[in-house]
Amino acid sequence: MAGVSFRQQVLVAREGAIVASVNRLLAEKGFEAMTVEEVAADVGIAKGSLYKHFVSKEALAAAAMVRVLDRALAFLETESQHSAATPVEHLKSCVRWMLQMQSAGEMPWLPAQNSTLRAALLQDRAYIDRVMAVSDRLGAWIVAAQSTGAINPALPAEAVLYTMYARACDPVPGFLRAGGKFNDEQIVDILLALCFDGLLARSPAADQTSISLLAS
Please report the pLDDT score of residue 6 as a whole number.
72
Q: How far is CA 94 from CA 131, 194, 196, 203, in A?
A: 14, 15, 12, 27
Residues 209 and 120 in one domain: no
Is 108 part of a structural domain of the chain?
yes
* pLDDT at position 111: 85
Q: CB–CB of 58/105 below 8 Å?
A: no
In the prediction, which pLDDT does 211 show? 47
The answer to whether residue 154 sits within a structural domain is yes
Low-confidence ranges of the chain (pLDDT < 50): 1, 211, 213
Residue 1 belongs to some domain of the structure:
no
Considering only CA atoms, which of 42, 34, 161, 23 is closest in space to residue 102?
Answer: 23
Q: Could you tell me if 173 and 187 are in contact, meaning their C-beta atoms sit under 8 angstroms apart?
A: yes
Do both 21 and 78 map to the same domain?
Answer: yes
Taking each continuous run of H as one helix and of E as one strand, the counts in the chain are 11, 0
Helix %, strand %, coil % for the chain, to 5? Answer: 70, 0, 30
How high is the pLDDT of residue 203?
Answer: 63
- Which CATH number does the domain housing residue 86 bear? 1.10.357.10
Domain span including residue 207: 171-216
What pLDDT was estimated at residue 212? 53
> What pTM was estimated for this model as a whole?
0.84
| Per-residue pLDDT, 155 | 96
Q: What confidence score (pLDDT) does residue 208 get?
A: 53
pLDDT (0 to 100) of residue 205: 58
CA–CA distance, 180 with 62 (Å, rounded to integer):
33
21-35, pLDDT tens digit by residue?
Answer: 999 999 999 999 999
**In a shared domain, residues 35 and 89:** yes
> Domain count of the chain?
2
Closest CA to 184 of 96, 106, 100, 98: 100
